[in-house]
């Protein structure tokens, strides 16, 4: 009897995840300064979205506002929706969609990018973001887990629906780490999406944390390139073909970004954004600052697209061997592996080069 109940639970969870296979999603984490290798907070977002390109761009401060670097959808020439970013006050924000905070029946929704753009223009602290959510007209038009860090030691998730939010402070946790995918801990238990990806991220992060403090490379070079499947308990990286389902990198993954924040007394200019644009296993991680963004990460391709993102997405498409029917759900890892190894090697060298410059 116990086996039957367990099997039913597994099949139910699998059905939920498969139903959401094409939904905008994301996997994320916040690491407090005490758990970080640099002694600075980390804010990570592996982005899944229906938008097939995203780019980085600096937005200069308007009167009475704050300048920032944000992640925008390809084609967003007006820079109206920021999907992650860091600002000149040492504040940074990202989100994951949540699907268990309220029934998905709202007519006014999908405002998360607009809220984050406003937060980047106006917030200097985690507390400021809470006040912003309190002050905005309701309904907010959001169903999201917003992750935020600041230069005052603040780090928290705000699980937010149209009318309220629950705050989870990272500094209150025993290990200084919080992970979120596409359900909220304050939401309806057993609903929402991303349970398998959450368990995968939790397993890989906790394993790494036992070996020592966490560095940004864990996210961009390990988790976002991993084909470990936590439900099956197996790393499929050396397989020939896989069904592109429930891994952290997915067919709708378009970036993996870690903001390495600052501590009290440090200038906001010391913030770093370690970014891989496009399908992460086919992308090279480079560094952006508040004043310097890699040229190919900006909107310099046709249609306000990032050339680096376009290239990585093109490389991923080369690993889809079958086009008809359900063929696009299959991924040829024999094509992905050499691309991933090359991009990872270049990325790790970029990390080393940047850290070498910081020591001088």
Question: Could you list the pLDDT tens digit for every one of the 360 residues in the chain?
Answer: 333 333 333 334 333 333 333 457 899 999 999 999 999 999 999 999 999 999 999 999 999 999 999 999 999 999 999 999 999 999 999 999 999 998 766 678 899 999 999 999 999 999 999 999 999 999 999 999 999 999 999 999 999 999 999 999 999 999 999 999 999 999 999 899 999 999 999 999 999 999 999 999 999 999 999 999 999 999 999 999 999 999 999 999 999 999 999 999 999 999 999 999 999 999 999 999 999 999 999 999 999 999 999 999 999 999 999 988 998 999 999 999 999 999 999 999 999 999 999 887
26-359 CATH fold:
Penicillin V Acylase; Chain A (3.60.60)
Alpha-carbon gap, residue 189 to 100, rounded angstroms: 8
Widest CA span in the chain? 66
Give long-range contacts, CB 8 A cutoff, 24+ apart: 61-68: 61/88, 61/121, 62/121, 65/121, 65/122, 66/91, 66/120, 66/121, 66/122, 66/123, 66/124, 67/290, 68/120, 68/121, 68/290
Domain ranges for the chain: 26-359
Please provide the distance, in angstroms rounded to a whole number, between the alpha carbons at the two ends of the chain.
Answer: 64
What is this structure's pTM? 0.93
Alpha-carbon gap, residue 277 to 306, rounded angstroms: 8
């Amino acid at each position: 009897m116990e086996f039957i109940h367990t099997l039913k639970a597994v099949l139910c969870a699998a059905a939920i995840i498969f139903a959401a296979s094409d939904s905008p999603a994301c996997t994320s984490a916040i690491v407090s300064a005490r758990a970080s290798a640099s002694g600075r907070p980390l804010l990570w977002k592996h982005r899944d979205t229906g938008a097939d390109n995203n780019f980085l761009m600096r937005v200069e401060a308007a009167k009475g506002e704050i300048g920032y670097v944000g992640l925008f959808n390809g084609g967003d020439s007006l820079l109206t929706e920021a999907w992650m970013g860091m600002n000149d006050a040492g504040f940074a924000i990202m989100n994951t969609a949540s699907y268990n905070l309220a029934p998905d029946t709202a007519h006014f929704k999908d405002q998360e990018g607009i809220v984050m753009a406003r937060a980047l223009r106006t917030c200097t602290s985690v507390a400021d973001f809470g006040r912003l959510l309190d002050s905005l007209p309701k309904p907010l038009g959001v169903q999201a887990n917003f992750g935020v860090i600041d230069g005052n030691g603040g780090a928290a998730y705000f699980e937010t629906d149209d009318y309220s939010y629950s705050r989870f402070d990272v500094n209150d946790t025993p290990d200084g780490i919080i992970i979120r995918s596409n359900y909220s801990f304050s939401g309806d238990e057993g609903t929402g999406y991303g349970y398998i990806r959450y368990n995968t991220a939790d397993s890989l992060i906790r394993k790494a944390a036992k070996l020592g403090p966490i560095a940004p490379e864990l996210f961009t070079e390990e988790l976002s390139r991993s084909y470990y499947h936590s439900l099956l308990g197996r790393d499929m990286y050396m397989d020939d073909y896989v069904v592109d389902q429930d891994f952290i990198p997915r067919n709708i993954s378009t970036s993996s970004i870690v903001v390495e924040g600052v501590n009290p007394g440090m200038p906001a200019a010391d913030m770093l954004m370690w970014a891989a644009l496009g399908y992460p296993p086919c992308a090279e991680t480079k560094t952006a600052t508040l004043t310097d963004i890699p040229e190919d990460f900006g909107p310099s391709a046709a249609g306000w697209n990032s050339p680096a993102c376009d290239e990585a997405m093109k490389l991923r498409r080369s690993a889809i061997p079958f086009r008809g029917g359900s063929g696009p759900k299959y991924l040829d890892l024999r094509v992905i592996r050499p691309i991933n190894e090359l991009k990872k090697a270049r990325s790790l060298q970029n990390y080393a080069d940047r850290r070498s410059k910081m020591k001088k």
